Amino acid sequence: MRLDKYLTQAGIGTRSQVKEYIRKGLVMVDGRTEHRCECKIDETLCLVSCQGRPVGFQKMAYYMLNKPAGCVSATRDQREQTVLDLVKDTGRRDLFPVGRLDKDTEGLLLLTNDGMLAHRLLSPGKHVPKQYLAVLSHDLTQEQIAILEQGADIGEAQPAKPAVFSWQDREKAEALLTVTEGKFHQVKRMFASVGCQVLSLKRLSMGSLVLDKTLAPGQYRPLLKEELESLLKLTKLEDR
């Protein structure tokens, strides 16, 4: 759809008003100022803003948040600060977090209104890998690491699925663990099963999506076009 038509249909103004906004450089598409009224946009993917405010007509929205410790991965909470409290200036009220991180866990959290994508990323059958950086209470032996790699007993009917383990910095007991499940306290329970406590936990990636290192805890940004395309490809939703 043409950009000027899109903005008109979204109720931003008359066709001539929105053309004026575009020519004046007040309209951004995917984070870049767009001066061409005839510019073609994909209304399901493009993030359009006018005078700094997101245009609400967008059907789908996707943001990456670096969740700080101390807030809960819920849409609403009576007492605690939620991850959605951190993204109020998107102007959107339909976002939700894809999966949960514990209150004390930091790192990558995808916020969207795309229920189908969320379902595909979280569905146990899809085995989407998630990588975590864990600071451990102490060093691990090769035997303990082998247990994590082969399937730790976390007190469920089935052992945890095999994980990929490596040291980020062994001296500091900083470990990287990639898991394909998302059970309650999954990573903490896996380390606990080999007698080790997780002192701090941060999610670094989910599927193809990698936490942007320039985002400080509490900061967020829209997904880049390439990031979204990779996620849609991963979840086989690119031709929706």
Supply the residues annotated as catalytic. Answer: 102
CB of 27 to ligand URA, least distance (A): 38
Name the helix (H) or strand (E) containing 97.
strand 96-97
CB of 151 to ligand URA, least distance (A): 16
DSSP 94: -
DSSP 158: S
Q: Identify whether the C-beta of residue 49 lies closer than 8 Å to the C-beta of residue 28.
A: yes
Beta bridge partners of 40: 2
CB of 106 to ligand URA, least distance (A): 9
CB of 149 to ligand URA, least distance (A): 17
CB of 87 to ligand URA, least distance (A): 19
| Nearest-angstrom CA–CA distance, 195 and 158 | 19
Which residues contact ligand URA by CB under 6 A?
101-102, 105, 185-188, 201
Please say which residue, 12 or 204, places its beta carbon nearer to ligand URA.
204
Please say which residue, 201 or 211, places its beta carbon nearer to ligand URA.
201
Q: How buried is residue 152: exposed, middle or buried, by Cβ count under 10 Å (0-12/13-18/19+)? A: buried
Pick the closest to residue 164 from 205, 195, 125 (CA basis): 205
The arrangement of strands across the sheet holding 32-33 comes to 32-33, 27-29, 48-50, 53-54
| Span between the terminal Cα atoms of the chain, in Å | 17
- Residue 54 token pair: 């997101």
